[in-house]
Amino acid sequence: PYGDSTSGWGNKDDGGGVGGEGGDDKPRERYIPPEPTDDESVMFGSGTSAGINFDKYENIQVKVSGENPVPPAESFKDCGLRDFVFKNVDKSGYKKPTPVQKHAIPIIMAGRDLMACAQTGSGKTAAFLVPMINTLLEKPQDAIINESGVEPQVIILSPTRELAIQIFNEARKFAHGSILKICIAYGGTAAFSQANSLMRGCHILVATPGRLNDFVNRARVTFSSVRFFVLDEADRMLDMGFLPEVEKMLNHETMPKTGERQTLMFSATFPPEIQRLAANYFTDYLFLAVGIVGGACADVEQIFYEVSKFDKKEKLTEILKQNTGKQLTLVFVEMKRTADFVAASLSENNIPTTSIHGDRLQSQREMALADFRSGRMPTLIATGVASRGLDIKNVAHVVNYDLPSAIDEYVHRIGRTGR
């Protein structure tokens, strides 16, 4: 979608979906997201702290490739975190680091570039947020604002708006009570509201690529002070859909060169061709592989039903009627119109259902996700916009109503459970 009716900027709004979601003919809205909460019980209680099979992680194979690897830390105390950061980690319910955290935290704190691949639900977000926040507090620099715009010290890019919001909330949690200012920039919302927030100062900026590039073009953001550049869901960020936007940032005249910034990339899937492409953006980097690169989460039981396309709706209804209690079910479809059709059909069958896809207004998308998280709508019909990164408690089942076209997307989809 082009143009932001709330700001008069002709920006390319992004993060609307995956695989070309989000058409130009969508209705507009003047949407300003609600202010994030400072209630600690909400901030520290929203995500998954440890799954039921957490201790099995100890046996997972870890491989670190590259020159002069950094030794892992066996506990959060061994990571050398400041007391302040350690307390926020503890308040989050994290008692011991996962394998990706044991290796990534010391690597990042040692100043190295990192490409990391670990299964869904393995704690990758904390693995990059905790050491970056620790470094920013250990070696503080002023949050600069001048006529060229605000100068964030950390840029974190996400392929979808919903994942950007989740990372933003996680960053606020680990930096809670500190001087660090965390900001977010994503499409589908009033640009002026996000710009106003940025102009109050920003150390860490979580963003989707189109909105961030628009802020750069409008002299709202400059990269001169960037210390960390992070791609979450890096394989998605480096495919043809997002690559031009990402390259525009990395090649921007104000962006510090490789070696003058730390570059971090994380994902559960990393095809070899994307690994080769990613290597161009690093200097002296380490490659961290936890388990099988691109492998499905071992804690997810996979069941296949053979049905004709005309019987899928009936089979889905049957599965959902068996699912009682407070467990949540996430249903993936390929087409936006299918999402609405299936959601309406299930609702008619007295199964409380909502949907999320690129043609819904951003306020509707955020409401649908909130209703699903809270259990008010225990079934969510989604397109690929919800396949990556989202960490939602009590998702017991993932149903692929339509199979995705790529195996990596299947791995990400089923990884919304088994966390």
pLDDT along the chain (419 residues), means of 10: 36 44 56 87 70 65 96 96 95 93 98 93 94 97 91 98 95 96 96 95 98 96 98 92 95 96 95 94 96 81 94 96 84 95 95 94 94 94 84 88 91 83
* CATH number of the domain within which 9 lies: 3.40.50.300
Does residue 254 sit in the same domain as residue 387?
no
Q: What's the pLDDT at 26?
A: 57
Structural domain includes residue 246: yes
* Torsion on CA atoms 91, 100, 16, 42, rounded to nearest 10: -10
Spatial separation of the C-alpha atoms in residues 232 and 267, rounded to whole Å? 6
Residue 49 confidence (pLDDT): 57
pTM (2 decimals)? 0.85
Last residue of some domain: 221, 256, 291? Answer: 291
Last-in-domain residue among 228, 262, 291: 291
Has residue 305 been placed in a domain?
A: no
Label residue 68 exposed, middle or buried (CB < 10 Å: 0-12, 13-18, 19+).
Answer: exposed
Which pLDDT score, from 0 to 100, does residue 307 have? 96
Predicted local distance difference test score (pLDDT) of residue 119: 85
Confirm whether 79 is domain-assigned. Answer: yes
Coil vs helix vs strand at 178: coil
Domain boundary residue among 291, 321, 337?
291
Domain span at 325: 312-414
Whether 113 and 174 share a structural domain? yes
298 falls within a domain = no
259 and 336 within one domain: no
Q: Is 25 inside any structural domain?
A: yes
d(CA 157, CA 236): 11
Contact yes or no for 191/211 (Cβ under 8 A): yes
Note whether 60 and 109 are same-domain residues.
yes
- Report the Cα 317 to chain-centroid distance in Å: 30
CA dist., res. 232 & res. 238, Å (int):
10
Number of domains, the chain = 2
For residue 55, give every residue at least 6 positions away whose Cβ sits within 8 Å of its Cβ, in sequence order, or none.
none
Residue 385, pLDDT score? 81
Rounded to whole angstroms, the Cα distance separating 98 from 224 reads 33
